Each structure stands twice: as structure tokens, then as C-alpha cells.
Structure 1
Amino acid sequence: MSQFNIIHSNDVYQTIIHDLDTPEEKNAYLKSKLLEPFKEKFEIQHIPFDQPINGFDVISFYNSMHIAADALNSSHLPVVEQFNDSFWEKCENGMQDAIDYFENHDVHPTVETYTFSAFLGDAQKPAMSLNNNYSGDGGIPGYLFISLVPNDYTLARVKSAVAHEMNHNIRYQFVQWDGGSLAELIVSEGLAENFVETLYGSDVVGPWAKNVDEATLKQKVKPIIKEHLDINNLFEAMPYLYGDDMTVQSGGRPVGLPHAAGYTCGYYLVKYFLEHTQTPIHEATQLSASDILSQVEDFWND
């Protein structure tokens, strides 16, 4: 039976707000109590944990979409308190629902313990605001977190956000991560969101999956994505996944795509694959991107 190591971030945030004074104390406490349990994950992702490299480390990574520890104050208590017992129960249910789905279809994840938390997003930062104020990270087996600005919209999507990340987490227990090819990125995101739809219905599918209208998808997104499917590294592939808004915000070169274009393309590509091959989502999750792409040639002209 799977175990969940849930880090209650609200306790960390409340201690920072009530008991700590200096930026150094606040950052050190957040790093120790909230980020340290994910240290192995960050190191696998080449996010420096102990010493910054060229000014970048786990704290600057965290601050790119969350409320910085040294910015937390008593005005944030109402949103911190949204991370209550009911919230954490929803998170655990989302993880368990995902595991149960696979195990009920005779797919048995190999990870025994999942370390999880939810981080307080900053609505003023594009990585949050462009994604309707919620996101997540679940690509390293055994570790996942969601990021959100708590409100009625995001709190209603907690389980679906967790399930999305769990699909990634389970996928990479069976499929070798290829370093971030564009093909793998769009397929994996498409699988995760179609998994959410299978579990919870289309109403809670992430906004990134349906961000692009049908005409733009067909006339602009598909041709550009298809032309660049041979990109085999994360740095070059990310602009095609995230689109120009996020790319420009992070100092990159725009590629002529709307926000979340790769997510939308992946969502519809995987949906096309599932429908045309009659492959169930639990089996598709275990397939390589090349296996899936080889069977959807007509998608690009559909």
C-alpha cells in the first residue's frame, strides 16, 4: 500500500509569519522545512540546493511563482488558512484516486512513498496568473507538489491538479525520461490531462489544455509543433510547450505560439490517439512518445 509523506505548508508559512523576523531567517526556515524534503527531486532536476549557480538556486526557483518567504506577513494568513485539514484530505484523495485507477487496471506503481506538498502561489507572477493561478510539478517519481493561489476556482480543482501530477509520476516509473524532447513534453502533458478527464470529467480539465481555439490550433499551432518535433532538449523545447507569453517573461525568444500551445496540442493529440486506437489511458500512460506519435499521423491534418 502506498504511503504519503505530506508536508503541511500552512504550518511552515504560519511559523514564518508569526515567529521569524529577518529575510535570512525566513528563507532558511522555508528551505529547511518545506523544500528540504524535496532535495533529491531538485538535484535530479539540476536545481542547485546548497549553493547558487550563477545566482540561481532552489529559493529563486521557488520565488519565481510563489510568495517569497521574506514577503510573507499577516495579510497572507487568510489564504494560508485555506490549506486546512479538508484541503489536505483532497490532496491525499487525488493521489489515492490516481493510484487506485492504475492498480484497478493491473498496473502497479513501484514507488512506495510519495512526498507531497502544496505551495502558496503569487498571483502577481506570470507563471501563476497565466495558468489561472494553479500549477504543479510531478515528473520525478516519488515527489510531487502543486502550486496555487487559493480561491473558489483553484480549490475546486485540487484533486484534478494532483491527479495530473500523479499521472506524470506514475508514467516515469515505467517510461524513461528522455531529457525533455518536445515530443515527450506534449505527449506527457496530453496524457496527464486526459487522465484527469477520465477520473473527474471535462469540467475540471486544466485551462492550459483548452487555451487555444480550434482554428488557431489547426492553422497555427499544429504546423509549428509538428515542424519542431525533432527538438530533443528541454531548453529548446519549452517555448513550444509554454508559448510566447511565458517564454518572453523568462527572457527567451518567442516562437510564434499562444500561451500553453504545446499543452493544448498534446491534449488533443492524445485524445485523438485514445479514440482512434481504442487504447485505454492506463496503457497509453506506459507508452513512449514515439509509440504514440507513430499512430497519429492523421492528427496533424485533422
Structure 2
Amino acid sequence: MTISMIDSASGMHRVLTADAQERDDLIRDLWHPMAGMYHFIPGGVDMAAVHRQNFGFRSDSAIERVSEGLEALVAADAWARVENALEQGMAALASADPGVRIPDLNVLLVLGDPTSRHFVDEVQGMSGFGGISGYIAITVWPTVRVLDRLEAIAVHELHHNVRYSPGGIVWDPQTVTVGEHVVAEGLADVFASELYGEAGYTHFVRDGVRSDDRVLAKVAGGLGVTGMADFAAWVLGDSSARLFGAEPVGLPTGAGYAAGARLVRAYLDATGSTAAQCVHAPASDILRIALPRLGLTRARPAARLEDL
């Protein structure tokens, strides 16, 4: 198991100090080690577009602010902290299950777009992707809260990566359910909390949402929804759904994370297991035990939260 931390500090510095017309190509260079994520797309993808889709900083605005953000990440020793956290997370998973297969990792830490209100305000400066085996991309804006959670953010994505690596759960975009996504987010958050306490829980979930039974019941009503087009609404919430062109369902930001953590906690309490041990546990098994313990069934989705 090896961790290859991309030297994105140097890469971002090159982008930020280059002439404007050169920046997109330098962003492509920055993301090039991650191109293998898209091996299944004939001809590959434009990695500058991938950067934008992941809320990456813009090449044509706020350059001075992004430069200040880079200074903050460097001062926080962000790259070493992420690498150390991933090593600790790998050790925890291997200790929980000596037979677990942990892939070699390419890891990219980049700054997000400080001009995006959704990125800064709604998801509070954090976007991570670890669902393709061998690759983790983390986009951040270095607020105090984000910097405090860097380690937890990294191991959250590590749990996803191992879950969807060969020998684990198969994510089929056509047939995967909201239930799988919600359970995966819950497992990853609880795993991070096993290592880092309360800091493990995704911070863009608003106060009160984690304990709101109406939110939990609403998400439970959508667990059987299939196809990734609708996942933003059920997992990330209505604001993200609108941003990505999906239909809102009446849920606050981070609802799926909040519900997922409660469902996973109920399962772990019932089975005496840990999220580290359950990295490959089928969502159906977790939901079969967790739902009745929380007084829930897979109900038909309600149109809006207020309908409950």
C-alpha cells in the first residue's frame, strides 16, 4: 500500500503565477496524475473541466485570494497531515480486517473557488471524492473549521475508496440505490469519528439536522431510489440538487450524511461492530437491522419534508 501525494502546492503556485492564457493547461497538468479515474471513458476527459466540477479555483478570477489560501494550506502543513491521516486510516482498516484489500492511492489536495457561494456557504469549503479505487481528490477552502478537520476529511474518503475497490462493493451507476450512498456516507463519517471523535462528522450538516427525526424519515423514504441522477437531492440536499440540475425533494444540506450516520450507528450498536470492520458490509444488511431499530421502514418517498 503506497500513498502518492501529488505536489499540488507547487502545481497550484505555477498556475497562480502564470499568465492568464496558460493557467488552464497548468491546471490540466496539476490534475494529470488523476486521469486514471476516468479510464472507463473513451478518450478520457478534460481535466480542467474535472477541476471546475470539483469546485476547484477559477483560472480567471480571485487569483490573489487563492494565493492567500495556498499560503494558509502550506502554513497548516496540510499535505503531510493528509498523508499521515491516510496512513493511520489504512492501519485502522487493516487492524479491523487483516484481509482487507487497500489500494495504492494517488491523492490530490486542491483549493476550491472562493467566489462560489455554494462551495463557500452551503458546503462550507469542502468537497471530497474517493469513490474510484486508487484515487482521492479533496477540494477545500482553508477556513479554521476545514483545517481542523483535514485528517477526518481524508479518512472519510479513504473509507469510500476501500469500500469500492476490487473485492468490495460494486457501484453500478444504473442500479445503485440512494440507500447505498446514504449508508456509505454514514460509514465513512462514523469511521472518521472512530479516529478523530466529533471532528469526524461532515461539518456542512447544519445544526439540528443530525437529530431531526423528520429528516431521517424523509431520507428513509427515498432509500430505494435508483440511478445517480437523483442522488444529489437525497444525500446532499435541495441546494445541491438545484445546482446540479436535479429535482429537489425537500431536504436540507447534508441530510443523507446525517441519516446515514444514524442508520450506521444503529447497526453498529446492534451488532457490536465498528465502521472499520464494516467497510464492505452490504447496505441491505445494515438497513435491514437499522431501520426497525429506529422505528422506520422503507416508505414511499414523500414529496416534501413538510408532508411528513
Using structure 1 for the length normalisation, give the TM-score. 0.87
Aligned residues: 289
Change (3 A) 1:75 1:172: closer
Which residue in the other structure is 1:202 paired with?
198
Q: Distance in 2 between matches of 1:267 and 1:299?
A: 14
Corresponding letter in the other structure for 2:154:
V
Shift of 1:74: 4.0
Q: Distance in 2 between matches of 1:80 and 1:106?
A: 37
Q: Distance in 1 between matches of 2:233 and 2:89?
A: 29
Greater CA deviation, 201-210 or 230-239?
201-210
Change (3 A) 1:211 1:183: farther
RMSD: 2.3
Which residue in the other structure is 1:218 paired with?
213
Corresponding letter in the other structure for 1:133:
G
Corresponding letter in the other structure for 2:57:
I
Shift of 1:209: 5.0
Asked if the contact 2:32/2:47 (under 8 Å) is kept, the reply is: no
Corresponding letter in the other structure for 1:29:
L
The answer for unaligned runs of 5 or more in structure 1 is: 51-56
Shift of 1:137: 0.7
SS at match of 1:93: helix
Structure 1 residues 167-212: Cα deviation after superposition (integer angstroms, max 9, x where no partner): 1111112222232420110000000000011011114422245654
Match of 1:103 among 94, 98, 115: 94
Change (3 A) 1:247 1:47: farther
- 1:266-281 equivalences under 5 Å are 266-281=260-275
Q: Distance in 2 between matches of 1:148 and 1:47?
A: 29
Asked if the contact 1:42/1:58 (under 8 Å) is kept, the reply is: no
Greater CA deviation, 204-213 or 6-15?
204-213
- Does 2:128 correspond to 1:133? no
Which residue in the other structure is 1:175 paired with?
169
SS at match of 1:88: helix
The answer for unaligned runs of 5 or more in structure 2 is: 297-308
SS at match of 2:182: helix
Which residue in the other structure is 1:29 paired with?
26
Shift of 1:117: 1.4
Asked if the contact 2:209/2:258 (under 8 Å) is kept, the reply is: no
Change (3 A) 1:127 1:48: farther
Asked if the contact 2:237/2:252 (under 8 Å) is kept, the reply is: yes
Q: Percent identity, please.
A: 24
Asked if the contact 1:16/1:72 (under 8 Å) is kept, the reply is: no
Change (3 A) 1:289 1:210: farther
Match of 1:89 among 66, 73, 80: 80
Shift of 1:249: 2.3
Greater CA deviation, 134-143 or 176-185?
176-185
- 1:1-302 equivalences under 5 Å are 2-18=1-17, 20-23=18-21, 25-32=22-29, 34-44=30-40, 49-50=44-45, 57-64=46-53, 65-71=55-61, 73-84=63-74, 86-125=77-116, 126-173=118-165, 174-179=168-173, 180-209=176-205, 211-213=207-209, 217-219=212-214, 221-301=215-295
Using structure 2 for the length normalisation, give the TM-score. 0.85
